Chains A and B, each alone.
Chain A
Amino acid sequence: MKIIEKLIKRASHKALGDLADDENYIFLRKNYLFKEISAEAFLFIMTRLVERRYNQDELIFKQDNLGICLFILKKGSIDIYLRTSDNDKLNYAKVREGAVFGEMSLVSSTYRTATAKAAENDTILLTLSTFDLNALSDQFPKDGLSMLKGITNTISENLIKTTKKLRNAKNEIDELKEKLEKYERG
């Protein structure tokens, strides 16, 4: 068994060596999600990774639709916005190159919580599906866990940011209410 493990490791390192000039490989190696991933698991991810191109204003995913993929922005920029119950558009974030988004669908098969649209022509995304993450966790449990931790961290950070935004918004509303009350009192 140990010999096979050694052979797999050596073969993976050799295969990754062959990929050294691959632009997706160079790009992903810098990403925090893949920093602690072993050579074998990284090679597995490289075989599953799909590159997609979008034009300006083209939808990537829509709020409340099925979500099964995580996206990594390789080139261009993305607008993420929400639709309120009154159908008002609420800009949420602008995604820059190298960032990961749509990660919530990878952890739990749920609806998209926001809409993502390409903000530039020739926007390039790398995608990884929930099925790929499952397969990765089956074959390389350690690496699957490490990636899952990275995704959970991203979700937590986003949650903290959203909570802060919500708190600020609440404070703003309270201030406005106070001002309105003062104004009404004369």
Chain B
Amino acid sequence: MKEDKFYRNFLIVVGTVIGVGVVYQGRNLLSPVFSALLVAYITYPIVLSAQKIGIPKGMTIIVIFITIVGLITQIGSTVIPAVNREVRVLSNPNLYKNVAHSRLVKIGKDLSMQLRNFGLIRKTWKDEQIIKEFSQWIAEQSTFLLTSIGGIAKKTGQFLMIFFFVLVFALLDGDMFYKTTVQMLPNSLFEPGLFILKKTIDLLGYYLRGIVIENLILGIISFILLWVVSLISPLSFVLALVISFIIAVTNVIRIIGPVIGAIIGVLLVLITTTDFIAMLGIVGVVLIVQLLDNVLILPLVMKEQVKIHPVFCVLGVLLGGQLAGVLGMIVAIPVLGSIKVIYRILAIEIKKFNMDPEVPLELGFQISES
């Protein structure tokens, strides 16, 4: 009996080590697979609803596929030529001297004027000098980008290929995927296995709902604060609304999301008003909102939805980032929640679960909702 227990524990340890090793080796695959499953989880109800009213699954999937590809193409076709134009202008001194040639040069000139007014840069610095320094830096970065473009294109291609492959099959065979997983459960562990699976899927749903609630609250607070900023600066009402929406959306990515949100917000102000107070206001709003989010909103919402301690949330997010980048950060909390459910069942409740017909049970185990 003792030997059996030893071998069982030994197998569990070896299995865990191999599992962690396989996940670590295949960590490059985690991001596209996770993103595809996440998108599939969010869009699957659309496929089901369409199917309910008689629209074939394949047709809905094609529409979702075209929408995602269209969005990626639209972003690419807008961003790439604009970046290309700016790089071309900045690498040519004859062109960047004329503000009309480059939006970036105009923004740079407006900004340097603002900074000079506030005494944040020396009055002796000339705009041309700043632009020259900046364009040199851009030129260096573009050289680096050009040399590594092959690698970036390859990685993006691989990501998109795996992403769409998993997405299409997850949407097409969503029910079958679930059924196959349930059918794979061994007979002896059928009911607790089903219980773990269902709780894990529910947890992902609670997490997504938590994210929506958290970011909705965050967006509303951001908007109220930005509206206050708009009273003392040229920041318009519409821009305040747009920026608060961006802050709420980018906050989905933990830790680095708010930084991205702040940068986009500041860039939008740069493009429209180049007002220094408005820019400072945005940075201040992002900081206040982040403080509120981490101290109050996130712990309250996630504790209610996923039931994980905020400290474990932060540690899990950092670990997720190490393992699978930005996507690891996004899926860290639901993965943590699943581990908690599985641990609870394996370590506490499965001990009471006994399928040996000769051994009578002293204790049954209760379905825990937590």
Contacts and interface: CB of A to CB of B under 8 A. Distances in A.
Given A10-B54, A66-B349, A111 B183 contact: no
Contacts of B198: 129, 131
B349 A11 contact: no
B343 interface: no
A68 B367 contact: yes
A145 B116 CA distance: 73
Nearest to B51: A11
B357 A62 contact: yes
A50 interface: yes
Given A14-B54, A59-B357, A129-B198, A65 B364 contact: yes
A66 B348 CA distance: 13
A4 B53 contact: yes
Interface in B338-370: 349, 353-355, 357, 360-361, 363-367
B195 A66 contact: yes
Tell me which of A83, A115, A129 has the highest count of chain B C-beta atoms within 10 A of its own C-beta.
A129
Contact of A54 (B187, B192, B354): B187
A61 B354 CA distance: 10
Nearest to B201: A131
Given A11-B53, A47-B175, A62 B355 contact: yes
Interface residues of A, number: 35
Contact of A50 (B51, B182, B188): B182
Contacts of B54: 7-8, 10-11, 14
B77 to A, nearest CB: 37
A52 B183 CA distance: 7
A68 B183 contact: no
Contacts of B51: 11
A150 to B, nearest CB: 21
A8 to B, nearest CB: 5
Contacts, number: 77
B191 A68 contact: yes
A102 B123 CA distance: 84
B5 interface: no
Contacts of B182: 50
Interface residues of B, number: 28
A63 B191 CA distance: 13
Interface string A96-127: 00000000000001011001010000000001
B268 to A, nearest CB: 40
Nearest to A105: B191
B195 to A, nearest CB: 6
Contact of B364 (A47, A59, A66, A127): A66
B52 interface: yes
Interface string A34-60: 000000100000010011101000111
Nearest to B353: A65
B194 A69 contact: yes
Interface string A127-160: 1010100000000000000000000000000000
A10 B365 CA distance: 44
Interface in A65-108: 65-69, 83, 87
B137 interface: no
A112 B365 CA distance: 10
A8 B55 CA distance: 10
A64 B355 CA distance: 10
Interface in B185-213: 187-188, 190-192, 194-195, 198
Interface of A: 4, 7-8, 10-12, 14, 40, 47, 50-52, 54, 58-69, 83, 87, 109, 111-112, 115, 117, 127, 129, 131
14 contacts: A8-B52, A11-B54, A12-B52, A52-B183, A59-B357, A63-B361, A64-B364, A66-B192, A66-B364, A66-B365, A66-B366, A68-B195, A68-B367, A131-B194
Interface of B: 51-54, 175, 179, 182-183, 187-188, 190-192, 194-195, 198, 349, 353-355, 357, 360-361, 363-367
Given A47-B175, A83-B360, 5 more contacts: A8-B53, A59-B187, A65-B361, A66-B364, A87-B360
